[in-house]
Amino acid sequence: MEVNIGPYNIEIIIVYKKNKNIYMRVKQDLKLYITCHPLVSKKELLKLIQTNEKSIIKMYEKMLKTNQYENEFYYLGDKYEVVFNENINSPEINGSNIYVKNEKMLNKFWQDECKRIFSKRVQDLKILFPYLPQFSLKIRKMKSRWGVCNRSNNTVTLNSELLKKDLSLLDYVIIHEFCHFKHPNHSAAFWQEVSKHYPYYKLARKRLKEV
């Protein structure tokens, strides 16, 4: 069913599960998913939607913004227009445009830049941390985390989406993960260690939550 919620006409997907609580979430397809017990009536759900209209609109607009951001090309904090040209032999950035032959070349440019830039920043920053073990760097796209420090096999994994952000935010994530080699949790001691190398970490965390 579809429901008018504020200025939006949103499709509602009801998922029945035998749980006590009712959960609502707007997913990337811009549909509102409601998980509830089979005994909850549609009338009750419509009333719940009406009561939570402002929250649903906020979730919907945030997902709209996220979808728009993901469909645009950002590189090191700046937005570029991708221009495809069959005569291009190698990627070229000129002004606010990036010129590539095709999607394949664009994807290779992205992968190569992730490896080049992330590796360099890791090398530049690790000299500040005398307690670091020998570790390996991995790069992959992650949905919910910007970085991961795995102390069991001494690996640091960085989210390839960080290439969309400016270098200061990449540095923050690298420093954050390095500090986990000393403090495996997010204790006060951990944040104190982070602040030694990145005093404005709270601002960085806030900016990483923004689209």
Domain borders along the chain are 2-70, 115-209
Residue with tokens 């404005």: 200
HSE-CB for 156 with a 13 A CA cutoff: 23
- Give the N- to C-terminal CA distance of the chain in Å, as an integer: 29
Q: What angle do helix axes 188-197 and 201-209 make, rounded to 10 degrees?
A: 100
SS3 at position 15 = strand
Longest C-alpha distance within the chain, in Å? 62
pLDDT in tens, the chain (211 residues): 888 898 999 999 999 998 889 999 999 899 999 999 999 999 999 999 999 999 999 999 988 888 877 778 999 999 999 999 999 999 999 999 999 999 999 999 999 999 999 999 999 999 999 999 999 999 999 988 999 999 999 999 999 999 999 999 999 999 999 999 999 999 999 999 999 999 999 999 999 988 6
Cα separation, 176 vs 137, in Å, equals 14
Instruction: Confirm or reject CATH 3.30.2010.10 for domain 115-209, answering yes or no.
Output: yes
Identity of the amino acid at 96 = S
How remote is the C-alpha of 43 from its chain's centroid? 36
Residue 200, classed as helix, strand or coil, is coil
Instruction: Please say whether the beta carbons of 82 and 43 come within 8 A.
Output: no
With vertex at residue 148, the alpha carbon angle to CA 186 and CA 169, rounded to the nearest 5 degrees, is 85
- Which residue matches tokens 């811009």? 30
Please give the model's pTM, rounded to 2 decimal places: 0.75
- List beta partners, residue 126: none
Query: Which among 179, 114, 168 is positioned nearest to 141, based on CA atoms?
Result: 114
